[in-house]
Structure 1
């Protein structure tokens, strides 16, 4: 097993500083993630170099809509989850061995310029992600991250200089009761701290919010989240709304399209310029419009780009600059 980063000894135990759980781990035990283990007084990563799967897909699948729109990325999935959600926590390590150099060679061979760390919780294979992002940077390959946002400021400081973009994912607008009851997370406040730190380290930010009928569709929590994004990040941060997919924790019914449209319209009302809906919706809810003249700049069909009408990162009609990363 690879020695982990971001930890210190406290007597015979180890304090992990990777995520906001800050686990105090006894000899032979693991943190809540099940993949960071105290082995004879050192913290080891069981997930290092274990790649469950790779897949080439459009960057919009992250989702990232304003970062190299229409580009392809190599998506990488590994082990580990600190939330008890979706695939949950498990100590069963799967995957084939790989090195960061192996992944970069694969990307170069496929002539792809983006590596997407996604699946489970990518920050839980932090050491591999960190080394991979460093190697990728040397070859001018972009590294993007999809995360639940529970990473600490120490973790972001370490990897931030090598990350190009991040999608931070909220469940139920960050409602604290939902996080406690269904995700086994103390609260959602660390996610807001992480967003501030990603901004501090100049990582391009997009946000996803999963709406859950009856459990995670609280209007007050949603308003707090959207207000916070406008006031603490920027009104031009792309804001994605997702329908909830049932898992072992919740067997909720699908979110009606009208509900998602309502939330998208509310996001615009409080000042967010680029709210998007994923799923079976009207085309306008997945199109990027010029915020100044409201002409369509990037048209998408089921999340995939079908038409781009830009002059670099500006509207060809009025010259308005959009919040995009294109090079």
Structure 2
């Protein structure tokens, strides 16, 4: 199902830890909100040198007075005291150095259809090696993957399996995958692992995908962007009030700015997902604003997936999105000028199919994740020659990509 946050296929941290992780996430979010999203989380397990053994030093941070550091990966820009973690709880300050403690640690690994991300105009019908870990920059109240997204990485990391970067190309090829996707939890906090893995994937001719909430700084995106082929982003609403209520962040503009930057500066293929939640973001004004922004800033050929909400977590009291509401969203998108608007989470609906905007014939027929018929010639409709914005090529390896964290423009801390 094409929910706003892609469902993970495998178990993450042990179930007996789930309730504790959820409570820890709630405590950390309240503290982060009280500090304006910039201060470090003061709670959680103490950090010591023994626990730090084998941790991976982070990129993109600044050392401050008193042993504090400022993380520059997400727009919260957490200022973290020694022995504490940022709001994501996956980046920890040990003696004035910031560590990415989930580097190379995974809780979910699967060979997925690319349509599950969902990406409909990117290597249609292919299979992608999909990786997930723990932690997130948001604390979404309807998150279906809350056991991993809301987990405290300092506790959960001991239960995660190690997956070295060097194994990714072999694992992908052995499972019939044409690419690698970082997904399930928020990949932004996996910056260093994605950077190394995406570079290696390109060296082996594999495509790369980031399935993200889009809350990333320009400097972090500029590290990853040259090595990413597809950037699948959630736009969960279109106001500060909506993002504050759902995700507990103050300013959603970085999400929009990053999507445009990924496309324009780094040549990433971009597709947008909006999980349509009854009484929250299903009004014409919100849907119309999202559609108009996509058309104006990303272009009318950018795919927009309007997906059915399934009641979960703090939003369990709401009903699933009526199909008629999704069909209304499709109409709103088309009136805004979007050529490709898809219905998600409704298997068998005709809104899953790709229709050529010129000849109006079905050129990719889908049922759920299954692709049944394809009438494409590269990025063109095979029936009339219309460009339908389908990406089927992989970026060449970026210059100077050899070695850990190699490549132009990357910044080491300190």
- Tell me which of the two structures has the higher relative contact order, counting C-alpha pairs closer than 8 angstroms and 6 or more residues apart: 2
TM-score normalised per structure 2: 0.76
Contact 1:278 1:303 in 2 (8 A): no
Mapped partners of 1:174, 1:247: distance in 2: 21
Contact 1:117 1:146 in 2 (8 A): yes
Query: Which of 174, 187, 191 pairs up with 2:238?
Result: 174
Name the structure 2 match of 1:163. Answer: 228
Runs of 4+ in 1 over 6 A off after TM superposition: none
Instruction: Give me the CA root mean square deviation.
Output: 1.4
Contact 1:238 1:274 in 2 (8 A): yes
Contact 2:209 2:229 in 1 (8 A): yes
Name the structure 2 match of 1:249. Answer: 314
Report the count of equivalent residues: 326
Name the structure 1 match of 2:186. Answer: 121
1:39 is aligned to 2:100 = no
What does residue range 263-282 of structure 1 map to in structure 2 within 5 Å?
263-280=329-346
Name the structure 2 match of 1:300. Answer: 366
Secondary structure, counterpart of 2:235 in structure 1: strand
Question: 5+ unaligned residues in a row in structure 1: which ranges?
Answer: none
Mapped partners of 2:198, 2:377: distance in 1: 30
Mapped partners of 2:253, 2:286: distance in 1: 13
Q: Deviation of residue 318 (structure 1)? A: 2.0
Question: 5+ unaligned residues in a row in structure 2: which ranges?
Answer: 1-54, 394-414
Name the structure 1 match of 2:127. Answer: 72
What does residue range 194-205 of structure 1 map to in structure 2 within 5 Å?
194-199=258-263, 200-205=265-270
Q: Deviation of residue 144 (structure 1)? A: 0.4
Cα shift readout 1:92-131 (whole Å, capped 9, x = no counterpart): 3241011111122211223422111111111111111111
Name the structure 2 match of 1:7. Answer: 61
Contact 1:290 1:320 in 2 (8 A): yes
Cα shift readout 1:217-262 (whole Å, capped 9, x = no counterpart): 2321221111111111110001001112223221221000000000
Secondary structure, counterpart of 1:191 in structure 2: helix
Name the structure 2 match of 1:50. Answer: 105
Q: Deviation of residue 281 (structure 1)? A: 6.1
Greater shift, 58-67 or 86-95, is seen at 86-95
Query: Which of 188, 202, 217 pairs up with 1:152?
Result: 217
Secondary structure, counterpart of 2:376 in structure 1: coil
Mapped partners of 1:316, 1:219: distance in 2: 35
Greater shift, 290-299 or 303-312, is seen at 303-312
